[in-house]
Amino acid sequence: MSRNNHTITTTRIHIMALDGIVNVNSLFTLALFLGLAWYPTAPDPTTTLITDTSCIASSSIVEDLIAFHVYSFSSFLFSSLIALAVKQTIKIFDTNKDDDSDGVLRSAPLAHVNLVALRAGTLVSGFGSVFGCGFLMMALMDLVQIKLGVLGCGSLHTFAAVTPLVILVPSALFLIAFCIGNASCCRLYEVAMFQGVGSDNGVKYVLLQYSNELRKSMQKENQPINLLSFPSTLNYLSFPSKLPSKYLKIALFVKKWPHRSLAGGLERHALTLHLALAKRGHELHIFTTSPSNSSFPRYPMSNLYFHLSKPTAAGYLDQAIVWKQFLTQNSTGKAFDIVHTESVGLLHTRSRNLTNLAVTWHGIAYETIHTDIIQELLRNPDEQQAYALTERITKVVEEVRFFPHYAHHVATSDHAGDILRRIYMIPEERVHVILNGVDEEIFKPDPAKGEAFKQKFGVAKSRSLVLGMAGRLVKDKGHPLMFEALKQMLVENGTFRENTIVLIAGDGPWGARYRDLGTNILVLGPLEQAQLASFYNAIDIFVNPTLRAQGLDHTLLEAMLSGKSVMSTRVASITGSVIVSTEIGYTFSPMVVSLKNALYRVWEDGRRVLEMKGQASRQRGLHLFTATKMAAAYERLFLCISNDISKREDYCHYQSPFN
């Protein structure tokens, strides 16, 4: 839920609930206190409306009146004190310090607390109010008997006063108790389940940020959701983990199949997704280029087939050859249920007649305009001016023209999905958003591995902050920006220089320049997946200074699943899908001064704050960015696209668990 661009988290909603409890309790407590103070003794019998002396209330009823007032007063006071104690505890551990270093006002108050204790405190406080209302109702019944006669006399006026009291108040109390004890009747629970509640080391975290259309679609009573027109990312939905009743024959076109650590984001996406689909029993046929100087990897799966072909001079798939291979396999056995292409692995000239085709875009020309603007702003005066912006506009126009030749489009970020719908004018039912996912079994918190990794590379324990970066060390990944920021900070701040070390996993032209900065920078070279998992556990925060506005970087997701806070350039794909709040990490404008301010903020916050942000980061990662989540979303979309109505298949409708 967003209000004035401020994210409201579960912690803040609990504070609002506790405020409501305290306010209501205060009114009741004040009323009871005044009642007891002004009328401390039994009412004067002459003030009653009773004519029959046998119907006058006994002294025990009068005693009960006073006792129930005291019990009610005590219950409300107890409830208020518990609520105030819980609220104060949250404020003490508030981690969202005010910061306007980038001209942005941070939302407050926000904290990462043990949600079990928070719920228990709220539960106890709520039931205190329930008991207070119950005792107050019984006190009012005694008051009615004192004023109008005891119930045993059968007075119509007595029953007329008591009957609404004993029906309406207990009904309300039951409803309140049910809502407190079973959060599923509350809107908060619905949103929490939808956005994902995970637990790790006793900490739970929920981000309540979603579009108005999404909320409306989930609120429709008993109305299944049409997946083809679902307005937000499919990662939000929970699909069953059991194996599907229908197994698909899937064709994949990808320019290059990843080999060891030498893989870009597109290739890693292809590997992670399609191996996961193969493990779930689907038949995979992968059309890709053969490696020039290395052996092709082998997998122990009988349902995974590779169809290799020699790449073109530019390194792309030879469309004539792969199309011939595809037609052969399409006519062997049953036809393909789904054709999937990673970006333009299969060109639009071949795809225009395939209604069962889905293309996953890892970057589109419109997004890269932002990249070109950044590159131009960062260009040194002595560098030649690029004409990429003019060329990019032409490329966007070309894409708008040929993109409709693909039947279905999968965007890897919420921002890219919005562009495809609005700018590229693709019909909404043909645009789907599925965020990238990484292997949650590999990338997970393991402090022991992190310590061993630091020991191996000689990272001293005296270093209070370990920054980490990974990937290709090239210009468009933002390394000139990061290099200049670190260079200035290491010169101007001796304490920062003594306490900070930067670990860099990757290679490229900027590796040698980083080494020139001295012993504060360790360039480790490219790492295998297992080593990379240890690398993430060794750092305090992962920094991604990318200048590329397109796609969704896997390294950020790997760091999040490893339980690390993240920091990245403020581009739409990242702020819209990954670092959506300050509880997860930090963002900065692609300028040296902004990057330095963010790095200093990280240094000042220290490890304790970074650990809490890392826990929140992992919870979002577990809910949205796992390979399991991504594969489940693709599987259901592919089943939907291949839906056979003649066989009464209904894979395109998703029944909300809240209906």
The mean pLDDT of 69-92, rounded to a whole number, is: 79
* pLDDT at residue 161 in the model: 79
* pLDDT at residue 310 in the model: 93
pLDDT in tens, 552-567: 889 999 999 999 999 9
pLDDT in tens, 274-327: 999 999 999 999 999 998 777 788 899 999 999 999 999 988 999 999 999 999
* pLDDT at residue 92 in the model: 65
Helices and strands, counts by H and E, the chain: 21, 19
- Are 590 and 521 contacting, i.e. CB atoms less than 8 angstroms apart? no
pLDDT at 170 exceeding the cut of 90: no
Rounded Cα distance between 635 and 638, Å, is 5
pLDDT in tens, 530-583: 999 999 999 999 999 998 877 788 999 999 999 999 999 999 889 989 999 999
The mean pLDDT of 457-473, rounded to a whole number, is: 92
Q: What are all long-range contacts of 529-533, with beta carbons under 8 Å and residues at least 24 apart?
A: 529/261, 529/439, 529/442, 530/442, 531/453, 531/505, 532/261, 532/470, 532/505, 532/558, 533/442, 533/443, 533/444, 533/446, 533/449, 533/558, 533/562
- Are 386 and 371 contacting, i.e. CB atoms less than 8 angstroms apart? no
pLDDT at 190 exceeding the cut of 50: no
Q: What is the per-residue DSSP string for 178-217?
A: HHHH-GGGSHHHHHHHHH--EEETTEEE-B----HHHHHH
Q: Is the pTM of this model over 0.75?
A: no
More confident residue, 151 or 281: 281
* pLDDT at residue 46 in the model: 52
Q: Is 5 left (phi over 0), alpha (psi -120 to 50) or beta?
A: left
More confident residue, 185 or 355: 355
Here the tokens at position 261 are: 């650590």
Contacts of 614 (CB under 8 A, 6+ apart): 541, 563, 564, 565
Residues of the chain with pLDDT > 90, as a percent, come to: 48
Mean residue pLDDT of the chain comes to: 82
The mean pLDDT of 248-272, rounded to a whole number, is: 86
Here the tokens at position 348 are: 């639009």
* pLDDT at residue 114 in the model: 61
Residues of the chain with pLDDT > 70, as a percent, come to: 80
pLDDT at 226 exceeding the cut of 70: yes
Q: Which residue is listed with tokens 């912006």? A: 389
More confident residue, 320 or 219: 320
pLDDT in tens, 2-38: 333 334 444 566 677 777 777 777 777 777 667 666 6
* pLDDT at residue 66 in the model: 80
* DSSP three-state, residue 243: coil
pLDDT confidence bin for 431, thresholds 50/70/90:
very high
Q: What is the per-residue DSSP string for 494-550?
A: HHHHHHEEEEEEB-STHHHHHHTT-TTEEEEE---HHHHHHHHHH-SEEEE-----S
- Please give the helix or strand (H or E) that residue 116 lies within, else none: helix 115-148
* pLDDT at residue 3 in the model: 38
